[in-house]
Amino acid sequence: MAEGRSPFRRPPTMRDVSRLAGVSPMTVSRTLADPGLVSQETRARVLAAVAQLGYVPDRGAGGLSSRRTGFVALIVPTLTNPNFADTAAGLTQAMRPRGYQPLIGVTGYSVSEEEVVVRAMLSRRPDAIVVSGMQHSPATRDLLARAGVPVVEIWDRPKAPVDRAVGFSNYEVGRLAARTLIGLGATRIAGLGPERTGDVRDFRGEERLRGLRDGLGQAGLPDDRILHHGRAAGAFAHGAEAMAELLRRGGAEAVFLVSDISAFGALMECRRRGVQVPEDVQILGFGDIEIGRQCVPRLSTIAVDATEIGHRTGRLLLGLLDGEADLPNAIDLGFRLVLRDSTAPR
Amino acid sequence: MAEGRSPFRRPPTMRDVSRLAGVSPMTVSRTLADPGLVSQETRARVLAAVAQLGYVPDRGAGGLSSRRTGFVALIVPTLTNPNFADTAAGLTQAMRPRGYQPLIGVTGYSVSEEEVVVRAMLSRRPDAIVVSGMQHSPATRDLLARAGVPVVEIWDRPKAPVDRAVGFSNYEVGRLAARTLIGLGATRIAGLGPERTGDVRDFRGEERLRGLRDGLGQAGLPDDRILHHGRAAGAFAHGAEAMAELLRRGGAEAVFLVSDISAFGALMECRRRGVQVPEDVQILGFGDIEIGRQCVPRLSTIAVDATEIGHRTGRLLLGLLDGEADLPNAIDLGFRLVLRDSTAPR
DNA sequence: GCTTGCGTTGGTATCGGTACCATGGTTCCC
DNA sequence: GGGAACCATGGTACCGATACCAACGCAAGC
């Protein structure tokens, strides 16, 4: 009764700890931040008081004072795509041991939503910002540039980065796809990506298809089978729908899909219709997600190491935040062709 | 030059806005928090100043003062499993429009890591905590109970919840799996889950297998084909490895796997070995992830609505945070059997 | 005309930490 | 033996917002 609304007592503060340990709050702060600064004996007393009270420091208050929040904003189109989930995991793995907490924002591939999310992130004063892609609204670009903290654009290779970049060229991925499928003997080559519905666009996927188109053009092949069809990227159903549409239009000897997720959907659609892969149609995906390695036939793909993008971004940021000099402005992690069972020379 | 380390100027504060608009900081605060409290004319001037300066409020400072941070901690085993990614999306969708920011922590199915993550979350003073499962270390349970904010345990149905719960009974999922496979005419029934390596355990998966075992026992069937084999849950390879092991041991007529991810891996392993599904072996999964709907044959599964778990949790929390009374302590969302093509009566 | 009350605005204290500077006590060394 | 150098600790002023209360002007009410 006396305690009132029972579970809602307030957590102990540093002041409480300091009183119990018989020292000043500053000494508690030092004990926790840099134990080497206090004497062995004092440290023991403080830590005992911390344990007894179950004290957990308030990093919000600490951040206000020190101007370092320990947040790293990570803005991705979706977490449902394992590529981005892996990048998030890689970044977390690299930065959490050093006390940084990722703050994840999801845009759903929408440019306007990205702006909203960036604003929400900025209100938390992150120590660094990681954002997918290089295509932003002017307002978003401005927000990022003025944020006053390191900004890393990932999963792309911007010509004019806001600040830093870690990724690869999506356009060159598309060109490699063209060369690869041509090299495998195909001449009727298709490219499948999602529809653009207003503000919702997969810019990087479009860039890969642009590379494919140019690659085909340079080889003197027609690019009339490049389709933007079906719902937004990141859903298996997209690939199935797009492949169905392609077959309706006469099919192709080889198909490049903007993501392995779609490629898997396409593969299954072929199976449902009795279209043999790779005999009747070859399928090449992008991203190298685990499903592609497990499914039958295994998916040929242009692989990027999503986890490594997270790692490298994390290490770059740690260097930047430690004030190291001579850190690269852009890291190109490249990509590599992995031919498995959904393609075969003919 | 004069500007110094150029991009690192400090963002404008409410004080800057107030000076530009010719009002007090309090009026700026009110304009942003509850515009109805200021006159039309003042509001216009303040908003103009906000826009001109590109002011973004510091919610860390605001939280310190108001004791409401706007954070909701969400602690999950992994984001790579689409089930949890969907729950995260559902929770975000429900709470972000009201200004709450999810703070995602990933435990990797480790009990000790969960404690570390909970502590990290608590240091951000979230307004609410959402945590997967009901099995925690005593220290974690204590931290949660003393946090002084609403706690929701999800994806389970705890007998003694820390506070609230939104989920379903994993044990009953297992029993339904047993009844289902028996009803389809199988007598040699297997259950496959991951190994427990020390501190890393999938408690909910184990619970589903326990339900299966009891279900088999009650029907007088042997439970000697319940295997814990292969790497941790959440990887497709797990299902493939476990299925390979099962086949090595003589196989089964029907198999229940603790997750659709594993079930898909198992399905592909069968394909590689020329084992026909469902003719030679029936496969039943759990979770109803999209791959299972797209693959061939389509996966039979016991479905739960992961997104809805996030939604309902979000709505419950909004009610709790608004101080509504008469909110349920536990919400059981249940599950349902979805028979597709990987099972068939024999 | 003076009180009452509302709508609008401002002042001050405070949230829980950390930066920065000051202090007292030792040790070291020429 | 006296001062520099250092170690361990404390005091004070913030960080950037909001809660709370006071005060102002003006209209309504008696």
Confidence of residue A12 (pLDDT cuts 50, 70, 90): very high
Q: Do A80 and B82 touch (CB under 8 A)?
A: yes
For the cut 80, the answer to whether the pLDDT of residue B2 exceeds it is: no
* pLDDT value of residue B91: 98
Any B CB within 8 A of A261 CB:
no
Mean pLDDT for all residues in chain A: 94
CB atoms B80 and A89 under 8 Å: yes
* Distance, Å, A37 CA → D4 C1': 21
CB-based burial of residue B119 (10 Å sphere; 0-12 exposed, 13-18 middle, 19+ buried)?
middle
CB A254 within 8 A of CB A189: yes
- Whether the per-residue pLDDT at B116 is higher than 70: the answer is yes
Q: Does residue A63 belong to any structural domain of this protein?
A: no
Please check the confidence at residue B6 and state whether its pLDDT lies above 70.
no
Between chains, do A291 and B294 touch, taking CB under 8 Å as contact?
A: no
Residue A67 exposed, middle or buried by CB count within 10 Å (0-12, 13-18, 19+): exposed
Confidence of residue B5 (pLDDT cuts 50, 70, 90): very low
pLDDT confidence of residue B8: 55
Q: Give mean pLDDT, residues A334-344.
A: 98
Query: Which is nearest to A211 in space by CA: A176, A248, A165?
Result: A176
Which nucleotide is nearest to A16 if distance is taken from CA to C1'? C16
CATH number at residue B212: 3.40.50.2300
**pLDDT > 70: percent of chain B:** 97
Task: With respect to residue B41, please indicate whether it lies within any of the assigned structural domains.
Answer: yes
Poorest-confidence range of A124-128, A147-151, B230-234?
A: B230-234
> What is the pLDDT, as a whole number, of residue B3?
33
Read off the pLDDT of each residue in A104-124 and give the average, rounded to a whole number.
97
Which nucleotide is at minimal CA–C1' distance from B39?
Answer: C8
Using C1' positions and the CA of B16, the closest nucleotide is D16
Do B130 and B230 fall within a single domain? no
DSSP code at position B197 = B
Q: Which nucleotide is closest to the Cα of A42 by its C1'?
A: D8
Q: CA–C1' span, A199 to C23, in Å?
A: 63
Work out the pLDDT band at B43, boundaries 50, 70, 90. very high
Cα-based distances in Å from A202 to A194, B59, B266: 8, 31, 33
Asked if the structure places residue A342 within a domain, the reply is no
User: Does one domain contain both B120 and B267?
Assistant: no
pLDDT one-digit tens code per residue, A205-233: 999 999 999 999 999 999 999 999 877 66
Are the Cβ atoms of A54 and B122 closer than 8 angstroms?
no
B314 shares its domain with B296: no
Residue B52 belongs to domain with CATH number:
1.10.260.40
Mean pLDDT value across residues A125-134: 96
Across the interface, whether the CB atoms of A85 and B80 are under 8 A apart is answered yes
- Res. B7: pLDDT tops 80: no
Cα–Cα distance for residue pair A29/A45, rounded to 1 Å: 13
What is the mean predicted confidence (pLDDT) over B129-138? Answer: 96
Token pair of A55 as six digits: 């004290």
pLDDT score for B37: 93
| Total structural domains within chain A | 3
Domain shared by B207 and B163, yes or no: no
Has residue B288 got a pLDDT over 90?
yes
CB A332 within 8 A of CB A154: no
Residue B346: inside a domain, yes or no? no
pLDDT confidence of residue A233: 60
Question: Long-range contacts of range B235-238, CB-CB < 8 Å, 24 or more positions apart?
Answer: B235/A290, B235/B80, B235/B261, B235/B265, B236/A290, B236/A291, B236/A293, B236/A294, B236/B261, B236/B262, B236/B264, B236/B265, B236/B268, B237/A290, B237/A294, B237/B265, B238/B194, B238/B262, B238/B265
Chain D nucleotides close to protein (CB under 7 A) are 7-20
The Å distance, CA of B216 to C1' of C20, is 70
Tell me if A344 is assigned to some domain.
no
Residues 55-74 on A with a CB inside 8 Å of B are: 56-61, 63-64, 69
Verify that A182 and A289 share a domain, yes or no: yes
A271/B69 touch (CB, cutoff 8 Å), yes or no: no
Q: Which of residues 82-111 of A touch B (CB under 8 A)?
A: 82, 85-86, 88-89, 92, 96, 101-104, 106
Contact present, A314 and A95 (Cβ < 8 Å): yes
- In angstroms, the CA of A315 and the C1' of C26 are apart by 43
What is the rounded average pLDDT for all residues in chain B? 94
Distance CA B216, CA B226 (A): 11
β-strand B330-332 against A189-193: which pairing, if any?
unpaired
> Average pLDDT for residues A239-245, to the nearest whole number?
95
Cβ proximity of B142 and B148 under 8 Å: no
Interhelix angle for B59-66 vs A59-66, to 10°? Answer: 130
- Hey, how many other C-beta atoms are within 10 angstroms of the C-beta on B322? 9
Which nucleotides of strand C are protein-proximal, with an atom < 7 A from a CB?
A: 7-20
d(C-alpha B312, C-alpha B290), whole Å:
21
Measured between CB atoms, does A265 come within 8 Å of chain B? yes
Q: Cβ of B163 under 8 Å from any chain A Cβ?
A: yes
Residue A198 pLDDT level (bands cut at 50, 70, 90): confident
Indicate whether B190 and B295 sit together in one domain: yes
User: In chain A, what percentage of residues exceed pLDDT 90?
Assistant: 92
Q: Please state, in angstroms and rounded to a whole number, the distance separating the CA atoms of residues B243 and B251.
A: 8
For residue A231, which of A262, A263, A189 has the smallest C-alpha distance? A262
Q: What residues make up the domain containing B216? A: 170-303
Pairing of strands B336-338, B300-303: antiparallel
Greater model confidence, B9 or A58: A58
Is residue B234 pLDDT above 70, yes or no? no
Three-state DSSP class for residue B269: helix
d(CA A177, CA A335): 11
Q: Minimal CA–CA distance to A75: which of A24, A31, A118?
A: A118
Q: In chain B, what residues touch A291 (CB-CB under 8 Å)?
A: 236, 264, 291
Residues A149, A297 within the same domain: no
CB atoms within 10 A of CB A236: 26
Check if the beta carbon of residue A93 is closer than 8 Å to that of residue B93. Answer: no
Residues B33 and B74 in one domain: no
Pair (B183, B94) in one structural domain: no
Mean pLDDT for the stretch of residues B35-58: 96
Written as six digits, the tokens of A244 are 């169905």
One domain, residues B310 and B298: no
- Beta carbons within 10 angstroms of residue A323's beta carbon: 6
- Would you state the pLDDT for residue B324? 92
Instruction: Answer yes or no: is pLDDT of A176 > 50.
Output: yes
Q: How many CB pairs under 8 A join A and B?
A: 133
A339 in a domain, yes or no?
no
Structure tokens at B45: 């001037």
A245-261 residue pLDDT tens:
999 999 999 999 999 99
Q: What is the mean pLDDT of residues A146-159?
A: 96
Same domain, A160 and A39: no
Give the model's pLDDT for residue A8: 55
Q: How far is the CA of B29 from the C1' of D22 (A)?
A: 18
Angle at B124 between CA B119 and CA B130, to 5 degrees: 65
- At residue B233, the pLDDT reads 60
Neighbours of A102 (CB within 10 A): 23
Distance from CA of A69 to the nearest CA of B (A): 9
Cross-chain CB nearest to B268 (options A9, A56, A294): A294
Cα B186 to Cα B275: distance, rounded to the nearest angstrom: 16
> What does each C-alpha distance from A77 to A114, A115, B1 come to in angstroms?
8, 12, 38
* Alpha carbon of B33: minimum distance to chain A alpha carbons (Å): 14
Among the listed ranges A68-82, B4-18, B120-134, B317-331, which one has the minimum average pLDDT value? B4-18
Do B50 and B92 share a domain, yes or no?
no
Q: What confidence tier does A5 reach under pLDDT thresholds 50, 70, 90?
A: very low
For residue A178, is it within any domain?
A: yes
Q: What is the largest CA-CA distance in chain B?
A: 84
pLDDT band at A2 (very low <50, low <70, confident <90, very high): very low
Statement: residue A163 has pLDDT above 80: yes
C1' (D19) to CA (B125) span, angstroms: 19
